[in-house]
Amino acid sequence: MKSLRSRIMHFVRRWHARVGVIAAIFFLFLAISGVALNHTDALHLAKTPVQASWLMRWYGLKPEIPANGYVFKDGYFAASDERWVLNGSELQDLGLPESKPEIVGAAAWADMYAIASSEHLFLYTKDGKQVDHLFAASLPAPLIERLGLLGSTTAPQLVLKTAIGDFASADGLSWQKLNAADGVAWLDKEALPQSLSASLTKSFSPSLPLERIVLDLHSGRFMGSYGPLVMDIAALLLMVLSISGVWIYIRTSRKRPKH
């Protein structure tokens, strides 16, 4: 019959192996995600958006697709509180906070696009690269009310409607006050056509940076409110594994013959 010490040793060895397998899975997962977070800049985790629909539903994020926008002959512009989309591509490097200001006008102007909020005027190339960002101090009036075009279709002037009058510019830098606003085609929001539905759904679907997802996986928050508890249990199992491993080593080393 086995002694009590032998039975205890057998029990500890058996559960040490079982706990070891479980803990190893979590430890490997934590190690990989931890290494990724330590090199987030090199791996571009913060700049890699993840837009999988099932994952966004898991986070409780839903697309906010605007019904109205600005339609041009060669494209469209639509905006939500979180993103601006020009011809299906999100505009980056706006120099604005995450919550975007309300748009008062957008126009396809000469070989550029002009987009205005009450205190900002943005100029973009046809491929969506920002040419200029004019603040209120660089504009003829502190607040813009509307955006319009004046003149021929080939070389129109950009017009700003403000509380102190209307101002026109051929280059977006020098402005002249208009004595009369006759002939100005004011640009207002309109219902976006149904043909843009697929493009709008793709452009305005929510996304999260890969860094956020890896961080939530590492901390356990990805699994909801009980996720951190699961990771705590995994850490506790690792502690038990370490203690039992040390105990087995000590017990085994004592039985070895000394040379």
Task: Provide the mean pLDDT of the chain.
Answer: 81
Mean pLDDT of 218-244: 71
104/141 Cα distance (integer angstroms): 14
Residue 1 has pLDDT above 80, yes or no: no
Residue 36 pairs in a beta bridge with: none
Residue 114 pairs in a beta bridge with: 107, 123
Residue 183 has pLDDT above 60, yes or no: yes
Residue 4 pLDDT: 63
pTM above 0.85, yes or no: no
- On whether the CB atoms of residues 244 and 236 are closer than 8 A, the answer is no
Residue 257 pLDDT: 59
DSSP per position, the chain: ---HHHHHHHHHHHHHHHHHHHHHHHHHHHHHHHHHHHTTTTTT-TT-EE--HHHHHHTT------SEEEEETTEEEEE-SS-EEETTEE----SS-SSPPPEEEEEEETTEEEEEESSEEEEEETTS-EEEEEEGGGSSSS-EEEEEEES-SSSPEEEEEETTEEEEESSSSS-EEES--TT-EEE--EEPPGGGHHHHHHHHS--EEHHHHHHHHHHTGGGGGGHHHHHHHHHHHHHHHHHHHHHHHHHHHHHSPP-
Q: How many CB atoms lie within 10 A of CB 116?
A: 25
pLDDT (tens digit per residue) in 201-225: 888 888 888 898 888 887 777 666 6
pLDDT (tens digit per residue) in 45-67: 888 888 888 888 888 888 888 89
pLDDT (tens digit per residue) in 82-96: 888 999 888 876 666
Mean pLDDT of 142-155: 85
Residue 3 pLDDT: 66
Closest CA to 159 of 136, 176, 135: 176
Residue 49 pLDDT: 83
pLDDT (tens digit per residue) in 121-135: 999 988 888 888 888
pLDDT band of 173, cuts 50, 70, 90: confident
Mean pLDDT of 9-37: 71
pLDDT band of 12, cuts 50, 70, 90: low
pLDDT band of 105, cuts 50, 70, 90: very high
Residue 203 pLDDT: 86
Closest CA to 147 of 190, 114, 196, 182: 114
Closest CA to 221 of 209, 206, 232: 232
Residue 16 has pLDDT above 50, yes or no: yes
- On whether the CB atoms of residues 93 and 47 are closer than 8 A, the answer is no
Residue 76 has pLDDT above 90, yes or no: yes
- On whether the CB atoms of residues 72 and 187 are closer than 8 A, the answer is no
**The tokens of 144 are what?**
């813009």
Q: How many CB atoms lie within 10 A of CB 198?
A: 10
Residue 41 pLDDT: 87
Query: Longest C-alpha distance within the chain, in Å?
Result: 110
